[in-house]
Each structure stands twice: as structure tokens, then as C-alpha cells.
Structure 1
Amino acid sequence: MSEITIRQVDLANPKEVEALVAMIDAYAQHEMGGGRPLPTEVREVLGERFAAHPASLAWIAWLDDQPVGGLVAFWCFSTFSARSRINIHDISVVDGHRNQGIGRKLIEAVEDYARRTDCCSITLEVRGDNLRGRHLYQKCGFQGPTDWSPPESMVFWKKSLS
């Protein structure tokens, strides 16, 4: 039986960047990402521009040689801590592979990386109506608002890394 492996994306490797773009497009097509594929003109330049951005970070969940999940993040800086932090921008798990712990494994890989690079925290934003995402983030130790925001809102969550 095959096992899921999580690897940080080598942004110099076109095949890995292409797989990442596919994961972002899968997220865009999900209802939580807007329910539509990325526009062709975005998809055509996304990989190159993402790889060229100096703050880009990404991880992919692989099942054998097939990408089944992805996480996009960016380096940030906390002026109140005088340390780096990582902001998770997108998490995607493709249809047929949800509810298998892949999202949690992706977050754990980011957390491991953040601890090794002496980050003070990991942040993310989540739609008010994304109850599955909020539940996952709580299980992973993120703290968000105590009230449930309206569906159209985005709320910021944070996990401190003491």
C-alpha cells in the first residue's frame, strides 16, 4: 500500500512547480476557493512568478508520483517579536483524498520547518464559513476568534511557536 509523503517544493524544479500550480488550481475549483478554475493567463505565469518571489514557500503531499495536496506559504516578519513568521496562504487536498490526514500532515511539515528556522509563529486566514478548515486549524493548535464570523468574512488565525 502506498504512503503519503510530504516534501517541500524545489522552486527550481519545473515539474514540482507545475504540480504546485495544479494543486492551487484544484483549490480554486473547490467551493472554498471560489468554485472556478484559475484563468488560463494566471495559470500560464503562476509557477514562474511564484518561484521568482523571494518569500515563496510550498509543500506538496505525494502519493507515489502523484500530487494529492499542496500548501502555499510566504515568509513574513513580526516586528513585535523581531523574528520571522510563516503565513499559510492556501491549503488544498484533491477530491478523493480528503479526510485522510493530508491537510494535517502539510501543516505539520510547515510547523517543523518554522521551528527549524526559528520562526515565532505561523499565521493563516480562513473563510468564516469554512468549518472543516477551522476545525483542522484548531486541532493543529491555531487560535482564532471565539465568535463565528459571517460566511463572507475572512478571519486571521495564528499559532505561536514558543
Structure 2
Amino acid sequence: MTQPASTGLQIFRADYNHAGHASALVDLLDTYARDPAGGGHPLGDFAKTHLVQALAARPQAFSVLAFDGPQPVGLVNCIEGFSTFACRPLVNVHDVVVLASHRGQRVGEKMLSEVEAIARERGACKLTLEVLPGNAPAIRLYERIGFAGYQLDPALGNAQFLQKWLS
């Protein structure tokens, strides 16, 4: 789909080969990275230059954009993984970005609805995501649309998200 020319909110799957979509993706992700919820630092030059090309090279990646008329206002980046227990794909919602000017207008909910539709087309068994405990508005959104803490046995508690950087 080409960049919408009409006014009003439009939600659609990004085309990594479309210059307007590519620019919107990088700009929105940079805005998110600069926010405390995204780490508080701008994207590096390498990421800005190579991100869209790297996503396009990975068939398991897809992104959803939100435009309000010609203005990009939201982004969700997703990476397909695999559930060994279900022996089916899963989709990890990796980044969710909504510009401050459009928060509280259900932009995130609408983008995640499109993500769910794409995940179902791919035969995915579930969506996963990580969220910081201090991001209460995001947690409310995710819970409202059906996300819940991950646990296999309540006696063992919810799963924790851990990381180890590789140099």
C-alpha cells in the first residue's frame, strides 16, 4: 500500500521498499528510542541507515504503521518466532510506538488488531511482548485487548524477561 493521501487515521502493513514507509519507520522508532520507555537515547547512525533494509531481508519480520492523513503517528515492529510446545509460529511484538499527540485515541489498539490479523494469516498460535512495569498506560492497553502475564504453573510465577548483550 502506498502512503495514504487522505485525512483520517489509516492502519496498514508497512512496505519496506516504499520510501515513505521506510522513513516513517525510522523516524517513529527514533522517537521511541529517545523516550525513557525506549531507553532515552536516539537510534545510532548504523541503525538509522540499515534498519529497514535489515528488516526487509528477514521474512519473519513485519511492521504496521499508523498515519493520520499524511503524518506517521504509530508503529509496531514484529518478529515471528516459534512455539515448540504448540509446534506453530508465534509473533513477538517487538516495538510499539504512538506519538504523544495521538495517545489515548486507540491508535495502539488499532495497530495491534492489524498485527493480530497478520499473525493469524501466518498461522501463529499467540502474540508475545515485553513491557516495563512502570509503563502503566501500555499495560492497561495490553490487558484490555487480552494480553496476560506468561506462566506455565501458577506456583512458579510469571516468566521474567532477561537479556545478555553479546559484543
TM-score when normalising by structure 2: 0.82
- State the match for 1:111 in structure 2: 116
> Residue 127 of structure 1 contacts residue 155 of structure 1 at CA under 8 Å; is this kept in 2?
no
Q: 1:117 and 1:98 mapped to 2: Cα distance?
A: 29
Q: SS of 1:127's equivalent? A: coil
- 1:23 aligned partner, one-letter code: L
Q: CA deviation at 1:121?
A: 0.4
Give the equivalent residue in structure 2 for 1:19: 24
Equivalent residue number for residue 100 of structure 2: 95
RMSD: 2.0
Corresponding residue for 1:140? Answer: 145
Q: Which has the larger radius of gyration?
A: 2
- How far apart, CA to CA, are the structure 1 residues paired with 2:121 and 2:57? 23
Report how far residue 82 of structure 1 moved: 1.3
Q: CA deviation at 1:155?
A: 4.6
Match of 2:70 among 65, 72, 76: 65
> Given that residues 68 and 97 in structure 1 are in contact (C-alpha distance below 8 angstroms), is that contact kept between their aligned partners in structure 2?
yes
1:85-126 CA distance string (max 9 Å, x none): 110000001121111100111111111122233210000011
- Check 1:145–1:55 CA distance in 2 against 1; reply closer, same or farther (3 A cut): closer
Work out which of the residue numbers 45, 48, 55 in structure 2 matches 1:50: 55
Deviations 1:26-46 (A, max 9, x none): 110111001221122321222
Q: How far apart in 2 are the matches of 1:94 and 1:155?
A: 28
State the number of aligned residues: 149
Point out the more displaced range, 117-126 or 36-45.
36-45
Q: Could you tell me whether the CA contact under 8 Å between 1:86 and 1:119 is conserved in 2? A: yes
The residue number in structure 2 matching 1:6 is 11
SS of equivalent to 1:126: coil
Whether contact under 8 Å (2:7, 2:70) holds in the other structure is: no
The one-letter amino acid of 1:44's match is: T
Matched, 1:76 2:65: no
Give the partner amino acid of 2:144. Answer: K
CA distance in 2, matches of 1:8, 1:145: 27
Unaligned runs of 5+ in 2: 1-5, 152-158, 162-167
